[in-house]
Chain A
């Protein structure tokens, strides 16, 4: 699996956009970028994933650079409920061997 590098922690004011970066310089052509988050005392929750194109859903947007060596998760209007640890994971998809490997993630603190 390609290794990812994320900042340990970030702060964001409520109502502002939260931009969470992830470096994955060794990503290979068939590896996807996945984002999960874990709110305190809960299990991780799927947010979004992508291969090379930018993706958007009701939760967030994922911007992947053209060389695919880095990506940014964007929460457009952060709320206090978005305070969580955010994990960026790079992995080949599909097959019985598909499994998620979590790093230590970025702890996002949303403040008033």
Chain B
């Protein structure tokens, strides 16, 4: 079974620039999550999709972050404009159904904002 694919693996941008991350979940997984992990901390949930609908985006800074999951498969997370404090690893995860076990995470995108 192929895992959760994320790209790019690394990204360095200047503050105020925009950036986008892509996630391809495991085939058939209806639930998709984006997490932000700042160095030394545990991952923090940004947004949760069930198929192509948003279930929870309460922790998403909506003035600069946006996410979409068209057709209920791939997902894109965008930051515009980026701030220095957005430097983090952005992790995508998927699960067959909305359950707390069986999450499969991708390896993440490491973003550095300079």
Contact = CB atoms under 8 A, between A and B. Distances in A.
Interface of A: 32, 34, 36, 41-46, 49, 85, 87, 89, 91, 93-105
Contacts of A32: 100
A45 B93 CA distance: 10
Given A43-B93, A87-B42, A102-B44, A94 B98 contact: yes
B42 A98 contact: no
A41 B9 CA distance: 10
A94 B99 contact: yes
Contacts of B105: 42-45
Given A41-B107, A43-B106, A104 B99 contact: no
A93 B50 CA distance: 15
A46 B4 CA distance: 14
Given A96-B55, A99-B56, A104 B41 contact: yes
Interface residues of B, number: 26
Interface string B28-44: 00000101000011111
B55 A100 contact: no
Contacts of A45: 105
A97 B100 contact: no
Interface in B93-114: 93, 98-108
A6 B108 CA distance: 25
Contacts of A101: 45
Interface in B66-112: 91, 93, 98-108
Contacts of A94: 98-99
Contacts of A102: 35, 42-44
Given A42-B107, A43-B91, A43-B106, A49 B101 contact: yes
Nearest to B105: A43
B48 interface: yes
Contacts of B99: 93-94, 98
Nearest to A49: B101
